[in-house]
Amino acid sequence: MNARSGTYAILAVNPVWWVVSAFYLFLTSTALVNYKNFPFGSLNFFTLVWIGTALTAAHCLLNLKTFREYFSLRRWRDIPRFLCADMSHYLPYLLMAGLYDNIPLFHDTARLRFNNLDYSLLRADEMIFGVQPTIFLQDYLNPYLVEYSMIMYSFFVLPYLFLVYLFQKRESTLFSKLLLAHVIASIVALTCFIYLPAKGPRFVFDTAGSRLYENLPQFKNGINGVRIDSLYRATGYESLYRLQYDAWNNLERVKTDCMPSMHAALYLICIIIAVRYRKIMKWKRLATGFWITSGVSMLFSCIYLRYHWVIDIIAGIVVAFFSYSAAELIIERWLHTRELASARNKQLVSASG
């Protein structure tokens, strides 16, 4: 392979792969350097499995028409190959998800203490507002608003679906920008989760007595949704809020993932793209309004339901703008360089011919 073909091979690789590879190399090196303390036998990939399953299901639903065409042409054996080829584009995203469940292993390796950052974050909130926002909001808990907020909090799955939507629309440039922006945001967040762990208000001010500090205010009102007797008889859960809370709590196995808020970061990146490139969407005004309204509701729900400090949300917003700006710059330069290299190659071929 000559230098020219080697350059083309490098330019053919999406930059997201270089970013993911660099982060994996960093974490792998950290684990190997501390191999005596790192519990390799405890590695697990539960989050990778469920996010991968959700992405595959969403991708299949959006490609039912293509699958029907394969069946009509008696080419059903080509479906697995077609599906694997498509799902490979999401692999960098899934690789980042695979790291999430293993954050506590790096805690053990670095022997970090978990309580320092929470204390700093709650003091930061108090300095900004003069009160603790989650403590203040407990006097305004309403079962219907709780149910609405829980639904909005669950909308954090939409960034994954938006990625599938862009792929389905064949918006390859926007897909690459969103994918890389989410990967960069995830790298920043996962690094903070490892080296700056924080649990959030629901643990620090917990009424069950699992507070991390003494002499701090305590929640006097629990969060309750709208009671549904039929739901309670069928499932044992008295409200949809409690059902969703326990479901997400089981999926979100890492409890020190508070700062920065990935809900805020990943969702805001989608809002930036949805607003900036709204022409790609079918109902432009409706879609833009939906993303903005749901985004604001989600940020509120993170505070109202005691998942995050306000400073976490602010940090998530900063991470979102940084990640999107970096991703757009990298992808645009990558595409421009590829175009220049392609044009140069054509000139050389013409000259040699």
Domain borders along the chain are 113-219+257-353
Residue 259 gets which letter from DSSP?
S
Which of 36-50, 150-164, 187-201, 313-327 shows the highest mean pLDDT? 313-327
User: How would residue 261 be classed by pLDDT, with cut points 50, 70 and 90?
Assistant: very high
**What pLDDT is recorded for position 116?**
64
Lowest mean pLDDT among 63-67, 133-137, 284-288, 328-332: 63-67
Looking at mean pLDDT, say which of 11-20, 114-123, 213-222 comes out highest: 11-20
Are the CB atoms for 48 and 32 separated by under 8 Å?
no
The residues pairing with 257 across neighbouring beta strands, listed in sequence order, are 198
What class does CATH assign to 113-219+257-353? mainly alpha
Predicted model pTM: 0.88
State yes or no: pLDDT of 228 exceeds 60.
yes
In degrees and rounded to multiples of 5, residue 56 shows phi and psi of -65, -45
Strand partners, 198: 257
pLDDT at position 310, please? 95
Q: Calculate helix-pair angle for 15-33, 172-195, nearest 10 degrees.
A: 20
Chain segment 4-37, per-residue pLDDT in tens: 555 555 667 789 999 999 999 998 888 888 877 7
**Which pLDDT tens digit goes with each residue over 166-200?**
888 888 899 999 999 999 999 999 999 988 888 88
Contacts of 339 (CB under 8 A, 6+ apart): none
Name the pLDDT band for 209 (thresholds 50, 70, 90). Answer: very low
* Residue 331 reports pLDDT greater than 90: yes
For residue 111, pLDDT beyond 60: no
**Res 348: pLDDT:** 63
121 has a pLDDT exceeding 60: yes
Residue 52 pLDDT: 86
Q: What is residue 101's predicted lDDT score, i.e. its pLDDT? A: 83
Q: How far apart are CA 284 and CA 277, in angstroms?
A: 9
Q: In Å, how far are 22, 113, 163, 184 from 269, measured between CA atoms? A: 22, 31, 11, 11
Q: Which of 150-159, 184-193, 282-291 comes out lowest in average pLDDT?
A: 282-291
The amino acid at 87: M
What is the model's pLDDT at position 318? 97
What percent of the chain stands above pLDDT 70? 88
Give the residue-averaged pLDDT of 31-45: 81
Least confident of 17-21, 87-91, 109-113: 109-113
The pLDDT score that the predictor gives to residue 271 is: 94
Average pLDDT over residues 325-330: 95
Q: What mean pLDDT, rounded, does the chain reach?
A: 85
Q: For the beta carbon of residue 158, count every other beta carbon within 10 angstroms.
A: 18
Confidence of residue 74 (pLDDT cuts 50, 70, 90): confident
Mean pLDDT throughout 238-252?
A: 88
Calpha distance 262→204 (Å, rounded): 20
- What whole-number distance in Å separates Cα of residue 316 and Cα of residue 77? 44
